[in-house]
């Protein structure tokens, strides 16, 4: 991952160029601000999930949307939406620009990562628990 926002001295968003090895993807996570992804190389995907349950750290999810990302595609992920993204081709790496829009002026952009005891399956409700909050 390469930080681009420092080069342009951006104060309203964090900008990264993110590379995924062949077939790799992020863990399920959410951000406290909006995020825009711009696919720059290879073929990837974005999967959106809906949460079930009232606990902030222990709940179930179900995949609600899946988008294929090709070079030049742009997607918007609203704040507080559970998602995962990465490469879908085991032979070709994938990369994208991530623009993380700060939730408010002088705020810190935070990502909450989740662990699970399952593999992603498009039709089943899953169990998740929070593991870490990272800037």
Helix/strand/coil (H/E/C) assignment for every residue in 84-120: EEEECCCCCCEEEEEEEECCCCCCCCCEEEEEECCCC
Q: Which residues of 103-113 are buried (b: 16+ CB within 10 A; e: fewer)?
A: eeeeeebebbe
Report the mean per-residue pLDDT for the chain: 81
- Which residues, 6+ apart, have CB-to-CB distance to 122 below 8 Å? 63, 66
What is the number of domains present in the chain? 1
The whole-angstrom separation of Cα 4 and Cα 13 is 10
Confidence of residue 134 (pLDDT cuts 50, 70, 90): very low
Span 7-25, average pLDDT: 82
Question: Are 84 and 25 a contacting pair, CB within 8 Å?
Answer: yes
**Mean pLDDT value of segment 15-31:** 90
Judge whether 114 and 82 are in contact, CB under 8 Å: yes
Looking at residue 53, its pLDDT comes to: 79
Q: How high is the pLDDT of residue 119? A: 52
Provide the pLDDT for residue 20.
93
Closest of 93, 92, 106, 117 to residue 33, by C-alpha: 106
Return the pLDDT at 4: 67
Q: Domain of 40?
A: 2-134
Q: CA end-to-end span of the chain, whole Å? A: 14
CATH number assigned to the domain comprising residue 90: 2.60.120.10
Q: Supply the pTM of this predicted model.
A: 0.80
DSSP secondary-structure letter at 6? H
Q: For the chain, where are the alpha helices, taking DSSP H only?
A: 5-8
Residue 50 has pLDDT above 70, yes or no: yes
Total residues belonging to the chain: 135
pLDDT score, position 131: 45
Work out the pLDDT band at 60, boundaries 50, 70, 90: confident
Q: What is the pLDDT of residues 64-105, one digit of tens each?
A: 999 999 999 999 999 999 999 999 989 999 999 999 988 887
């Amino acid at each position: 991952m390469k930080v681009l926002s420092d080069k342009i001295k951006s104060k309203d968003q964090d900008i990264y160029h993110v590379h995924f090895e062949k077939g790799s993807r992020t863990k399920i996570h959410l951000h406290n601000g909006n995020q825009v992804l711009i696919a720059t190389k290879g073929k990837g995907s974005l999967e959106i999930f809906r949460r079930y349950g009232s606990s902030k750290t222990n709940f179930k999810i179900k995949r609600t949307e899946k988008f294929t990302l090709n070079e030049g595609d742009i997607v918007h992920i609203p704040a507080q939406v559970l998602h995962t993204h990465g490469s879908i081709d085991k032979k070709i790496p994938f990369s994208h620009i991530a623009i993380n829009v700060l939730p408010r002026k002088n705020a810190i952009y935070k990502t909450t990562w989740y662990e699970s005891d399952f593999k992603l399956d498009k039709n089943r409700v899953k169990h998740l628990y929070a593991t870490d909050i990272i800037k």
